[in-house]
Amino acid sequence: MPQPEGRTSVRQVALNEVVSREANERVDPPAEAGWDLSLVDRVCECGDADCEARLRLTVAEYEEVRGDSRRFAIVHEHLVHAAERVVERRERYSVVEKFAEAAAIAEAHDPRG
């Protein structure tokens, strides 16, 4: 059955993004010197459960995104207007911030509390 528009789909988008973020949390940073400036593969944290796009962020860039529970790193074109807005557009990725219900879900599922 197709998802109804509105509340439910926004919720699903937010939950999909939480799953992607949890996958990224399991990526270990490389241990050598300058590790925070090395590029690490991350999965796109957009709301599409089937998205397999990869992003390359430095550890420092990713930590900056993760400093706010409501923020996610995604491929530019994967923005879901109903659930989030772009707060920063970088060369390799966009940083989006959830609003309303999507933000509450993102915060409730933050693996870092």
Q: Which residues bind Zn ion (CB under 5 A)?
A: 44, 46, 51, 53, 75, 78
Q: CB of 73 within 8 A of CB of 46?
A: no
The least CB distance from residue 105 to Zn ion, in Å, is: 17
Closer to Zn ion by Cβ: residue 27 or 37: 27
The least CB distance from residue 79 to Zn ion, in Å, is: 9
* DSSP 8-state class, residue 83: T
Closer to Zn ion by Cβ: residue 70 or 78: 78
3-state SS of the chain: helix, strand, coil percent to 5?
A: 35, 20, 40
Q: CB of 75 within 8 A of CB of 44?
A: yes
The least CB distance from residue 74 to Zn ion, in Å, is: 5
Closer to Zn ion by Cβ: residue 19 or 37: 19
Q: CB of 84 within 8 A of CB of 97?
A: yes
